[in-house]
Amino acid sequence: MNAQDKSEGIEFLPMSLNEAKTFAASTQKLIFIDCYTTWCGPCKWMSANIFTNDTVAQFYNRNFLCLKMDMEKGEGKSIARKYKVKAYPTLLFLDQDGNIQERFVGASRTTMDYIDLGLLAMNPFENLRGHQISYESGAKSNEFLASYLEKLSNAGMATETVLDSLYGSWTDSDFTDSSNFKLYSKYDQSIDSKAFKYVLSNYKWYKSNFGDKADTYLQTRILWNHNLAVRRKDKAQLTAINEIMKMLPETKKGEMQWLMEDSELRRVEDPKPYIKHAIKGAKDYSWDNAELLNSMAWYIYKNSKNEDDLNAGLEMSNRSIVLSESPAFLDTKSSLLFELGRKDEAISNQQKAVELAKKNKDDVKSYQETLEFFKNKK
C-alpha cells in the first residue's frame, strides 16, 4: 500500500502556509486548509467523523497538501484576515501562489460531498477561481450568473455585485419569473436590492401567484436585517426597516412586530419577558413555524422551572413535531417531559429520537447520552 493510502485519517502537515506554497510548487498539488476554531461544534464533528474516514483521508492525502489551522491562534489569525474567514468551518483550496481555487463554508454530513468538493477544486474550469475568471472576462448569461451565485454562497462570499449585474438586464417579466424568484430568494438577503423593492411594491401580485412564499421572502429579509441592525446598533438601518414595515399589509404588521420583538427579547438577561412573549404569541404568529416553535420550547426548558411555562413549552414542542419530526425536535420534547417529572414518557420519546437519528445517519452521541441520563437519574 502506498504511504498516501494509509487509513489513519487526513495527514495534516506541520508547516506554515509559505512552506506549503513552496512544497506545492514542487509537487503541483493544491493546498487544502481546514480553517477552524476550538469552540466550533461542526468543526469538531467534521474532524472526528469526516477527516478520519478512510475514503476521504486517502483522497485528500493523495491529492492535496493538507493544513489544519486555528483561526484564532498563531498564523491562523493572519490567514483569517487575508482570506476573510469569518464563519467556521471554512475549507480553503489554494494554489502555489496562495490564490483561492475553491472555498466552502460549513460541515456537510455526507462523506462523498468532501470528495466531490476536492474534485471540483482541482477542475480549473468549474471551480470558484474558474468562475471568477469567466465573470471578469465578461460572462454574464443568466445561467452562468446563477452558477456563480451558488459558488459565492457556498463559499460564504458576497453576492451583491453579481446580483446587481443580473438585475441590471432584467425587465418586470424577469423579476416575476418563477425560476428567477427562486434564485433571488436563495441568494439575495438585502432590503436595499432591486429584487426586494420590486417584491415589496408588487406584494399583492406575488402573494396571488406565489402564496406564502411571498410572505416568507419579505419576512426573512426584514428579520435578518433587523437582527443585524440591532446587534450593530445601526439606527439608520432600523429607521429604514420601520419605513418598510409601513408598506406591509395590515395583516402582516402584527406578526412582523412580534417576530422582531422575539429576537430583541432573547438578548435580555432576564428570561421572564421572553417566555411571556413566546407563550402569548406562539399560536397567533408562529404556529406553523416548526423551527421557531422548537427554539422557543427549548428556551423555556433551559430557563424556567415553572410548571405552566414547561407545559406551554411542551405544547409548542408537540406542534413542531407534527409539522416536522426530527431528532432535535424529539429531544426537546423529551427534555420538557423529564423536567415535568414524566420520566417514562421522556425515555420512550428519547428512544424515538435516537432511532430517527440513526435512520437519518445523524450523529447519535448526544441523543444517546441524554437517553442514558434519563434512565440513570433517580
Cell of 233: 446598533
Contact 120, 127 (CB under 8 A): yes
Which one from 43, 46, 259, 337 is the annotated catalytic residue? 43
Going by pLDDT thresholds of 50, 70 and 90, the confidence category of residue 118 is: very high
Going by pLDDT thresholds of 50, 70 and 90, the confidence category of residue 7 is: low
Task: Please state the rounded mean pLDDT for residues 315-321.
Answer: 98
Contact 361, 109 (CB under 8 A): yes
Find where cell 487509513 sits: 7
35 is catalytic: no
Contact 323, 290 (CB under 8 A): yes
Tally Cβ neighbours within 10 Å of residue 264: 15
Task: Name residues whose C-beta falls within 8 Å of residue 217's C-beta, 6 or more positions apart in sequence.
Answer: 181, 185, 199, 206, 210
**Res 378: pLDDT:** 77
Task: Please state the rounded mean pLDDT for residues 36-61.
Answer: 95
Cell of 355: 432511532
pLDDT above 90: percentage of residues in the chain:
86
Please state the length of the chain. 378
Identify the weakest region by mean pLDDT among 25-39, 255-269, 272-286: 255-269
**Res 165: pLDDT:** 87
Please report, for the chain, how many H helices and E strands are present, in that order. Answer: 21, 4
Which one from 33, 40, 71, 321 is the annotated catalytic residue? 40
**Res 3: pLDDT:** 44
Q: Tell me how far CA of residue 355 lies from CA of 61, 119, 369, in angstroms.
A: 34, 34, 13
* Better-scored residue on pLDDT, 123 or 146: 123
Task: Name residues whose C-beta falls within 8 Å of residue 155's C-beta, 6 or more positions apart in sequence.
Answer: 102, 103, 104, 105, 128
pLDDT above 70: percentage of residues in the chain:
98
Computed over every residue of the chain, the mean pLDDT equals 93
Burial grade of 345 (CB within 10 A; 0-12, 13-18, 19 or more): middle
Instruction: Write down the domain spans for the chain.
Output: 3-122, 189-267, 269-378
Topology annotation, domain 3-122: Glutaredoxin (3.40.30)
d(CA 133, CA 88) in angstroms, rounded, equals 26
Task: Please state the rounded mean pLDDT for residues 355-369.
Answer: 90
Q: Tell me how far CA of residue 317 lies from CA of 216, 255, 324, in angstroms.
A: 22, 20, 10
Identical topology for domains 3-122 and 269-378: no
- Give the helix/strand (H/E) hosting 296: helix 290-303
Task: Please state the rounded mean pLDDT for residues 104-117.
Answer: 94
40 is catalytic: yes
Q: In the chain, what are the helix, strand and coil shares in percent, each to the nearest 5?
A: 65, 5, 25
**Res 251: pLDDT:** 81
Side by side, the strands of the sheet bearing 64-70 are: 64-70, 30-36, 90-94, 100-105
**Res 148: pLDDT:** 95
Tally Cβ neighbours within 10 Å of residue 268: 11
65-81 residue pLDDT tens: 999 999 999 999 999 99
Topology annotation, domain 269-378: 1.25.40
**Res 6: pLDDT:** 52
Cell of 32: 487544502
